[in-house]
């Protein structure tokens, strides 16, 4: 049965009314090679057969690995109360709260989320309904352009690469410019944003800067000089955007403390499971003076005619619905369920519990650093970090694959997401959280030491310093371990 309710006669009448002969003509502006083609689907199956197929596919997922992967999405313990409340029908199936008289529960959950995130970040305004950290970061950058009426944004090379790619996509469509701030290559500040380069880029009076975007901790896990960078941005008349990881804010200075104008980030660590990439939660907040530039929805608390507490949609630009070409952002879906998960999580563990999550993760990371250094994989950068850092591993890509076969997900091969930086060619980005165990750390270190020793034995004399030898020895390492 076709999903559409219209008969062929109905469709023919509508096409005649608008003066076209076929539905294909409606898409004439799209090049033919970019249009969707017929779906190549297998024959239909019964429910029993389809269930068996899906079960077999799900069984191919590895859920038994000792994972040290972070890079923007993190393993945390989620109290049972989160799902118990989240999956209640009135929350799980709720729709966008357009009508306050029948949406008080949903509006209150958004209000509570905004209140908690305002306390966590120090921002005066928190928006709801953003897809993930990448889109929230792109929206933050667009806000700086609208607020300053400038068209150029500076983005640190140490902001998550996926966030940078998303920001670039937004900017291409808006005819805006995003320039990259390089990192310090050597010394105690290696791996962090080069403030001297930032100052030079801000001084270009012919190309004024709307905003400076930096992450803390950055993609390499390092803590950035956020206060100094913010001061440089403000001195040039630019706004300062802080990309944050929310759990870290329990122990690190808040964006408001070091003068950020806008804060954004990924809310997944707050009670949202990894779930193979989503759905996640974009965090976006700002100073009150920028409230008219922030996209999404703002919910407020008031009283009704009887003096009882009530929740309302305080601010939502009319352009979101009827003049979309003028809209700050065309976000129409409602991420309130993910925001509710974050709210329940924060309420359940409280401020002291969140601090414990952050500090225990940092302690586990210190244990991990020591164990990996003894195994022959020292830290790549000397600066301070919280619970994530890069280590030097010869033939990192090959070793990473070998460790998977030994039950260890050894973080991220950095060269796979930042391929153009030779200093990161042989590096793994590893992470520990409060759920990382001493046993897992020991297994990782033991397996890594074994693979590094095998690699050393297979390297031919005189070839270690050449790029060709590097790839050849990686291939020999793979062959020798089969």
Mean pLDDT, the chain, rounded, equals 90
pLDDT tens digits for 247-294?
999 999 999 999 999 999 999 999 999 988 888 999 999 999 999 899
pLDDT tens digits for 355-397?
999 999 999 999 999 999 999 999 999 999 999 999 999 999 9
pLDDT at 333: 62
Q: In angstroms, rounded to a whole number, what is the distance separating the alpha carbons of residues 358 and 56?
A: 37
pLDDT of residue 27 exceeding 50, the answer is yes
pLDDT at 136: 95
Residue 460 DSSP code: P
Residue 10 lies in a domain: no
Residue 2 lies in a domain: no
pLDDT of residue 229 exceeding 80, the answer is yes
Residues 445 and 358 in one domain: yes
What percentage of the chain reaches a pLDDT higher than 70? 90
Residues 380 and 476 in one domain: yes
Helix (H) or strand (E) holding 389: strand 388-392
Helix (H) or strand (E) holding 397: helix 396-405
Residue 362 lies in a domain: yes
Q: In angstroms, rounded to a whole number, what is the distance separating the alpha carbons of residues 101 and 312?
A: 9
Q: Give the CATH number, domain containing residue 279.
A: 3.40.640.10
What percentage of the chain reaches a pLDDT higher than 90? 75
Q: How many beta carbons lie within 10 A of that of residue 234, not counting itself?
A: 15
Which of 310, 327, 346 marks a domain boundary? Answer: 346
Residue 195 lies in a domain: yes
Range of the domain at 103: 80-346
Residues 356 and 277 in one domain: no
Grade residue 148 by pLDDT with cuts at 50, 70 and 90.
very high
- Give φ, ψ of 378 to 5 degrees: -75, 165
Q: In angstroms, rounded to a whole number, what is the distance separating the alpha carbons of residues 68 and 409?
A: 6
pLDDT at 223: 98
Which of 317, 346, 375 marks a domain boundary? Answer: 346
pLDDT tens digits for 171-202?
998 899 999 999 999 999 999 999 999 999 99
pLDDT tens digits for 322-350?
666 666 665 656 688 999 999 999 999 99
pLDDT of residue 479 exceeding 70, the answer is no
Residues 327 and 358 in one domain: no
- Please state which of the ranges 11-20, 89-98, 305-314 shows the lowest mean pLDDT: 89-98
Residue 114 lies in a domain: yes
- Please state which of the ranges 150-154, 224-228, 231-235, 296-300 shows the lowest mean pLDDT: 296-300
Grade residue 474 by pLDDT with cuts at 50, 70 and 90.
very low
Q: In angstroms, rounded to a whole number, what is the distance separating the alpha carbons of residues 77 and 433?
A: 9
Q: Would the CA dihedral through 396, 398, 404, 405 be positive or negative?
A: negative
Residue 155 lies in a domain: yes
pLDDT at 318: 56
Number of domains composing the chain: 2
Residues 355 and 342 in one domain: no
Q: How far is CA 277 from CA 196, 232, 273, 294, in A?
A: 36, 35, 9, 25
Residues 301 and 450 in one domain: no
Complete DSSP assignment for 215-271:
EES-TTSBPP-HHHHHHHHHHTT-EEEEEE-GGGGGTSPPTTTTT-SEEEEE-TTTT
Q: In angstroms, rounded to a whole number, what is the distance separating the alpha carbons of residues 245 and 252?
A: 10
Grade residue 458 by pLDDT with cuts at 50, 70 and 90.
low
Residue 357 lies in a domain: yes
Residues 238 and 361 in one domain: no
User: What predicted TM-score, i.e. pTM, was given to this entire model?
Assistant: 0.86
Residue 263 lies in a domain: yes
pLDDT tens digits for 83-136?
999 999 888 887 777 777 788 988 999 999 999 999 999 999 999 878 999 999
Residues 337 and 392 in one domain: no
Residues 354 and 333 in one domain: no
Residues 339 and 229 in one domain: yes
Q: How far is CA 150 from CA 142, 164, 213, 365, 458, in A?
A: 10, 19, 15, 41, 56
pLDDT of residue 470 exceeding 60, the answer is no
pLDDT of residue 152 exceeding 90, the answer is yes
Q: Give the CATH number, domain containing residue 443.
A: 3.90.1150.10
Q: In angstroms, rounded to a whole number, what is the distance separating the alpha carbons of residues 220 and 429?
A: 7
Residues 318 and 366 in one domain: no
Which of 325, 346, 367 marks a domain boundary? Answer: 346
Residues 149 and 286 in one domain: yes
């Amino acid at each position: 049965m076709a999903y559409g309710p219209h008969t062929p006669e109905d469709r023919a009448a509508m096409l005649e009314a608008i003066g076209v002969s076929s539905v294909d003509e409606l898409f004439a502006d799209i090049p033919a090679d970019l249009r969707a083609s017929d779906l190549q689907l297998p024959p239909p199956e019964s429910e029993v057969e389809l269930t068996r197929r899906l079960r077999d596919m799900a069984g191919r997922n590895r859920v038994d690995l000792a994972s040290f992967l972070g890079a923007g999405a993190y393993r945390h313990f989620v109290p049972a109360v989160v799902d118990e409340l989240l999956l209640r029908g009135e929350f799980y199936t709720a729709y966008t709260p357009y009508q306050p008289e029948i949406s008080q529960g949903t509006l209150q959950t958004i209000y509570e989320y905004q209140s908690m995130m305002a306390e966590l970040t120090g921002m005066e305004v928190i928006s709801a309904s953003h897809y993930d950290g990448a889109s929230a970061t792109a929206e933050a950058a667009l806000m700086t352009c609208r607020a300053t009426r400038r068209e150029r944004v500076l983005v640190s090379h140490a902001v998550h690469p996926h966030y940078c790619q998303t920001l670039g996509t937004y900017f291409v469509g808006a005819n805006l410019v995003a320039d990259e701030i390089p990192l310090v290559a050597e010394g105690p500040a290696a791996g962090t944003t080069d403030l001297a380069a930032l100052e030079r880029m801000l001084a270009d009076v012919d190309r004024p800067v709307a905003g400076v975007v930096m992450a803390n901790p950055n993609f390499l896990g390092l803590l950035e000089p956020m206060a100094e960078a913010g001061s440089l941005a403000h001195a040039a008349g630019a706004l300062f955007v802080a990309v944050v990881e929310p759990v870290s804010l329990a122990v690190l200075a808040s964006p408001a403390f070091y003068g950020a104008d806008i804060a954004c980030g990924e809310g997944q660590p707050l009670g949202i499971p990894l779930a193979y990439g989503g759905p996640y939660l974009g965090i976006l907040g700002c100073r009150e003076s920028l409230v008219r530039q922030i996209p999404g929805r703002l919910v407020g608390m008031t009283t009704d005619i009887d003096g009882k507490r009530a929740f309302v949609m305080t601010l939502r630009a009319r352009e979101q619905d009827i003049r979309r070409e003028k809209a700050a952002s065309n976000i129409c879906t409602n991420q309130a369920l993910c925001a509710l998960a974050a709210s329940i999580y924060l309420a359940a563990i409280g401020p002291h519990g969140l601090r414990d999550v952050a500090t225990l993760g940092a302690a586990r990371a210190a244990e991990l650093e020591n164990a990996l250094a003894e195994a022959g994989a020292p830290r790549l950068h000397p600066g301070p970090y919280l619970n994530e850092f890069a280590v030097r591993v010869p033939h990192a890509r090959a070793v990473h694959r070998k460790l998977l076969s030994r039950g260890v997900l050894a973080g991220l091969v950095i060269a796979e997401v930042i391929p153009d930086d030779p200093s990161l060619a042989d590096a793994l980005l590893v992470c520990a959280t409060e759920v990382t165990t001493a046993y897992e750390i020991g297994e990782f270190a033991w397996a890594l030491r074994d693979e590094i020793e095998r690699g050393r034995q297979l390297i031919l004399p005189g070839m270690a310093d050449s790029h060709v030898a590097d790839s050849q020895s990686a291939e020999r390492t793979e062959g020798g371990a089969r």
